[in-house]
A and B are shown apart, each in its own frame.
Chain A
Amino acid sequence: QKEVEQNSGPLSVPEGAIASLNCTYSDRVSQSFFWYRQYSGKSPELIMSIYSNGDKEDGRFTAQLNKASQYVSLLIRDSQPSDSATYLCGRKKSSGDKLTFGTGTRLAVRP
């Protein structure tokens, strides 16, 4: 089992819809979770970090963490074509640990 798993997609949603991106991880000791957005040919950009169970909202983005289920998700409300990118889920077991990424989910928002 991969340490961090994501569906590669593409996930296609219409403009204005909610895009739901999911990520599972293989251990029960991970402490920190991150969502990055990567446009084609560019480097990753941090969108959200989450450390505690529950929801964390920032603008149109909501991260949800369920440590018991080893599951973290990212919701994007009112999706825009500019949100079309690859979304990388990452986790660290501790603050000094290396960031382990999933393979990323490609999101396509149709105008």
Chain B
Amino acid sequence: GAVVSQHPSRVICKSGTSVKIECRSLDFQATTMFWYRQFPKQSLMLMATSNEGSKATYEQGVEKDKFLINHASLTLSTLTVTSAHPEDSSFYICSAMEGGEPYNEQFFGPGTRLTVL
């Protein structure tokens, strides 16, 4: 399957700081990228969907000013958690899709574990 990378894999930061997470599709061009969050022992929760060159579409209840998403190219999307607080501590996972019928499979990055002190 296709490879999606994420960086960093783990980050610990102080409350109030901003954290940027990068997601890259390594061997395909991702027309659409998705950002998920997962709390311990809970299901994946879709936060937002982004298409290259367009503004991201956020799911209900996700603050777009807090979780800034930039999908600047067909291989790179970034998620910035602004003014992070302890309740933002979670496992953030990106996913990328090449697009087009029937190749609409989504491949997940390895995830970024964020801990806000």
Contacts and interface: CB of A to CB of B under 8 A. Distances in A.
Contacts of B1: 46
Interface in A46-67: 46, 49, 51
A42 interface: yes
Interface in B12-65: 32, 34, 43-44, 46, 49
A87 interface: no
Which of under 10, 10 to 19, 20 to 34, or 35 or more describes the interface residues of B?
Answer: 20 to 34
Contacts of B93: 43-44
B82 interface: no
A45 interface: yes
Given A46-B1, A88-B44, A103-B43, A98 B104 contact: no
B43 A44 contact: no
A77 interface: no
Nearest to A36: B108
Contacts of A98: 34, 46, 49
B108 A32 contact: no
Nearest 9 interchain pairs by C-beta: A95-B104, A43-B111, A43-B108, A43-B93, A44-B108, A95-B101, A103-B43, A49-B105, A43-B110
Given A88-B44, A98-B46, A103-B43, A43 B109 contact: yes
